[in-house]
Structure 1
Amino acid sequence: MGPPVADPAPKAAAKRKRQENGDSSKKRRKSAGGDDDAAESPKARIQKLEAEIQESRKHYNNIVALIELAQRHRADPKTALPASEALCRIFIRLLAAGTLVKRKDVSEKDATVTGWLRDRLGDYRGSLLSMFRSQELASNALVLAMALLKAEAQHLTDHGEAVFPRYFFADILASLLESPVEHIRDEFSEKFVDEYDDIRFYTFEALKGYLTDREDDVGADVKNTIFDMLLSIEDVPESADDLEDFFVEPPQKKKKHPLRSLSQHKKQAQEAWLAFMHLGLSKEQRKKVLEVMAVSIAPWFTQPELLMDFLTDCYNTGGSISLLALSGVFYLIQERNLDYPEFFTKLYSLLDADMLHSKHRSRFFRLLDTFLGSSHLPAVMVASFIKRLARLALNAPPSAIVVILPWFYNLFKKHPLTTFMMHRVPRTKEEKALQESEGVEDPFLPEEKDPMETNAIDSCLWEIVQLQSHYHPNVATITKIISEQFTKQAYSLEDFLDHSYGSLLEAEMSKEVKKAPVVEYMIPKRIFTKAEPTSEETNSLLVSLWDFGSS
């Protein structure tokens, strides 16, 4: 269907008809003898169609032919791409010329042509968005769609100021989310979202709209895609002055515009995250959210207290989820002054054997060092944490113990009242006699949940003395720092946090042995087999133990 035009005079129409008939007969004769058009390449044909449109508006019908070529991208992608590129150039020129802008002061004929061109622009948008599903054309289609979006924002208005085409952008984002081509989303984030403040703003807005409109129809794959896209938007502007990079012509600084407001940017991000969380998170998604909560998510919220229920539920879940929720809860307490009276009680309950074997152990100790770093905390409560960890250290892996002891050292320096736990001696002769005759009962209450009521401050760290005889030499050595003078100001926990069985073993193996250790006073000839009855050899200890166990 071609663009509507006014009816010419009858004589002119008859003359044109004769000319068209003559041209048709000439084309048929050429085709019979080797038509040049038949041999014309698709690329040359596209160039010719584009040139004719640029030459005169009477060739606007060529736009339909180019759109048909672009729509056949599944069957002929090599032709569809140059046709799409040509259409992009055509529509950008038409937009710049103001041909697609609806105006009241134009004739009915021009208004009809404008409406027809806008419909064809819609067809072209649809063909570009359908290319997002093509592995071969997706990247090019994204670039063309964003170039067209920019031209529409600048020229598809008669107000003299750029107006962002939200509906077209929402369609672009929806096509990106539903596309099976993964790399196109990475390109969109790297080239547009991370680079331009306005694209990031409208991305949050479009994501929120997508989730709201399709609340019950968001599939698992699309949900994971949205989650990854939200997580990838990390850098939070510090002030409105940082909002300087715009893809589309920015609004004037004198005018109050949402794009110039940092609070509006954060509001869009907050609403997008809340819309996503409203759908519910899987266990893995919840862990990822908690890992970056204090760094990449909570700073986007203008009202971080809206995250309190989510973080509290995670904190009360137990296990690794509670460990990961710690940083988010502490961020709200520290940065937003939110009240959480049971924070240290809950933190104390997280100290168990599983925590010392967890892969998040290093993260937990970093947070624990922050939480108990204040010298204003009650010594009674700090003593409870020290005592409980000392008790857990008896069955902890060596890589955890080498972190616990330097941390104890730092706590003793910050809280001198807790140093009485290191060396508690009887005060009277009666107490000494009672200890020698009946022993000492540890007053510590390991089952008490309130760290203020455990009586740990009245106990002593006999567990540390036991660890000084640990089978691992590194553990035995580092444990002795508690029994020596505290001449060091503090230990850096970062030097101990990343140890594992492998790193400890490697450290031992790489040590220079100055004196060979004595393993046996006599090298046996046999280890696993018995000695001959007639020989003077003696059985090895291993064989003797085996015989003893069998008897």
Structure 2
Amino acid sequence: MMKGKNVNELRAIVKSFKKEKVKNSNVIIDIMEMLHDDKEETLSGAITSLHAIFIFLFQEGDLVQPKIMPEDLLSPSDKYKKWLIERFKETHTQLIILLTHEEKSIQELSIVCLLKLLAAEGKHPISDKSGKKYAFPDQQLKAILKNLISETQDNCSLLTLMLEAMTFADFNYWTLKHLENILKQQKEINAIFMNNFFALLELVDIPEENAPESQQLFLLSDEDAENEEEHYSFTYPTTEAKKHLNSIWQRVIKWNLTPDLYRRSLVLIPDKVLHHMKQPLLFTDFFMESYDLGGPISLLALQGVFILVNKYNLDYPDFYKKLYRLYEPTVFHAKYRARFFMLCDKFLSSSHLPGYLVAAFAKRMSWLALQAPAPCIVMLLHFIVNLLIRYPNLRVLIHNPDVPELENDPFDPMEPDPAKCGASNSSLWEVASLKHHVLPEVAKAAGFIHKNLPIIEHNLGDKVEETYEEMYERACKMKVKTTATTFHKPEGLFKYQDDVMSDMWSLT
């Protein structure tokens, strides 16, 4: 028994095991018993020690399945290897159980060790020891995933530790495949399960079919494998991966999603899912209903609806009319403001848009600029400049001689239909008024109203997420001319030359 062993003592035990592994094999059982201890320090030491032992055994080639034959015909060496494999499987099972331990540090240490053992087994397969043939231990991964994607314990923070592993092509594919299997077998779909499931689903990224073959393999993430000369190849099965992804989303889209998962889905589907779907129009109801809800949900649904309309020929004639309605002062305070304006920049880049429609958006932004927070005004002015560059016919709005007095501006900001708002008959007088803004940066950005337009469009990404703090820091660095406030140097607080205050008052 090894109760009460500290870290240094365990390190010495592991070191002695590596020197004489057959003679000291029983230490494995003794350390495994420590995995049932209640003390966090004991558990941590046991996990770390067993990890070191089994990594060593993989590298030494001892964890190799012997040929199947009666027990009495096995050689002592094969019996030893069989015994080691059994101990490894027991340890693996116990580490998975520890993923539910009450101490977060034990959970995190367990998942890290499990992933490292997974990589070691992939490099040194238990069932095949050819030395150059790569066999991913997908069943071990499935056991880990089934425990992590729990319906009773929120493991989202724990699942973030798999972020690095998910960047490897092989790990990503096998995770996707097992996500489909787990989802098919899952009977109870509750909020906890959905949160855990999404934490991994968001990390799945299927490479394009014409993308170069990636050599970033999970087994080569092992430090000991960096200098290996063996070449391990893995061709990402894109077609199979798409089938798994289609199967998953056909089920997920029917879930009663929580508000948070609903918003995350609206971001995830256009970015990583739609172009892999066999029938993208299956998401039509999902995106159109979301777009009609208004507020932040509509902002997030924008990209999905646009992709379905533009790329998959969805008939949605009121898309731009509803987009126009989203241009309200509240949009500047939305969490997804940056995403909204970057998408709008893309939507308003088509050469097939009618002039009245683009004029309505330009005028609407000009009107909003008078109500927008200071960090957003420059972005709006740059957006207007971009529209004027793209659509030369709009330049009449800069100085429209037919516009009556401002009190009778034909533009109606309350009209929700861009075809009826009267923007084409108006002008950008709001921009002219911003030339006198108290902030020099805003006044400078509005200067295009009386100058020639630039040739190159502004990059909205530079301003779309700007904050008051950034504007203030930039203003503090500006060099200004010094303005004298007096011609004579004062002699004291109230002692100025020819100053009545100095004659009438004195400090005592």
Relative to the length of structure 2, the TM-score reads 0.70
Match of 1:205 in 2: 177
What is the match of residue 263 of structure 1? 239
2:481 alignment partner, SS class? coil
* Counterparts in 2 of 1:420 and 1:80: CA distance versus 1, 3 Å: closer
* Mapping of residues 110-121 of structure 1, within 5 Å: none
Partner of 1:384: 360
Cα 1:294–1:452 shift into 2, 3 Å: same
Q: What does residue 393 of structure 1 align with? A: 369
Residues 78-89 of structure 1: matches in 2 within 5 Å? 78=45, 82=49
**CA–CA distance in 1 between the matches of 2:454 and 2:16?**
86
Please report how far the alpha carbon of residue 356 of structure 1 lies from its aligned counterpart in structure 2 after TM superposition: 3.0
* Distance in 1 between residues matched to 2:189 and 2:236, nearest whole Å: 34
The residue that corresponds to 2:229 in the other structure is: none
CA distance in 2, matches of 1:73, 1:481: 71
DSSP-derived class of the 1:403 partner = helix
Question: What aligned pairs does 1:23-62 form with structure 2 within 5 A after superposition?
Answer: 51=22
Q: What 5-or-longer segments of structure 2 have no aligned partner?
A: 1-11, 221-233, 495-502
* Residue identity matched to 1:194: T
What residue is the counterpart of 2:328 in the other structure? 352
Most deviating of 258-267 and 322-331: 258-267
DSSP-derived class of the 1:266 partner: helix
Residues 127/45 of structure 1: CA separation in 2 closer, same or farther (3 Å cut)? farther
Deviation at 1:354, TM superposition (A): 0.8
How far the C-alpha of 1:201 sits from its partner, in A, is 1.5
Partner of 1:224: 195
Question: Is the counterpart of residue 144 in structure 1 residue 117 in structure 2?
Answer: yes
CA distance, structure 2, for counterparts of residue 166 and residue 496 of structure 1: 46
Shift of residue 344, structure 1, vs aligned partner: 0.7
> Counterparts of 1:136-175 in structure 2 under 5 Å?
138=110, 139-148=112-121, 154-155=127-128, 166-175=138-147
**Native 8 Å contact 2:432 2:449 kept in 1:** no
Given that 1:50 and 1:86 are in contact with CA atoms closer than 8 Å, whether structure 2 keeps it comes out as no
**Is the radius of gyration larger for structure 1 or structure 2?**
1
- 1:266-277 map, 5 Å: 266-273=242-249, 275-277=251-253
Question: Is the counterpart of residue 467 in structure 1 residue 439 in structure 2?
Answer: no
| Other-structure match for 2:294 | 318
Pick from 59, 63, 66 the counterpart of residue 98 of structure 1: 66
| Distance in structure 1 (CA, Å) of the matches to 2:321 and 2:382 | 23
Partner of 2:5: none
- Percent identity over paired residues: 27
SS in 2 for 1:460: coil
Which residue number in structure 1 is paired with residue 304 of structure 2?
328
Instruction: Quote the Cα distance in structure 2 between the aligned partners of 1:82 and 1:213.
Output: 35
Q: Equivalent residue of 2:352, what SS? A: coil
Q: CA RMSD in A?
A: 4.6
> What is the CA-CA distance between 1:481 and the residue it aligns to?
1.8
- The residue aligned with 1:531 is none
Tell me, yes or no, if the aligned pair for 2:410 and 2:425 is still in contact at 8 Å: yes
Question: For the residues of structure 1 that align with 2:458 and 2:28, how far apart are their CA atoms?
Answer: 71
The corresponding residue for 1:442 is 409
**Following superposition of structure 1 onto structure 2, how do residues 228-377 of structure 1 map, counting pairs within 5 Å?**
228-234=199-205, 236-239=207-210, 242=213, 260-273=236-249, 275-291=251-267, 293-377=269-353
| Secondary structure, counterpart of 1:73 in structure 2 | helix
Which stretch shows the higher mean deviation, 126-135 or 174-183? 174-183
Partners of 1:315 and 1:322 within 8 A in 2? yes
**Cα separation, 2, equivalents of 1:247 and 1:486:** 52
Cα gap change, 1:67 to 1:237, in 2 (>3 Å)? farther
Length, aligned pairs only: 447
Deviation at 1:247, TM superposition (A): 5.6
Counterpart of 2:241, as a letter, is H
**CA positional deviation for 1:141:** 4.1
1-side partners of 2:92 and 2:120: how far apart? 12
Offset of residue 303 of structure 1: 4.2
**With structure 1 as the length reference, what TM-score do the two structures score?**
0.65
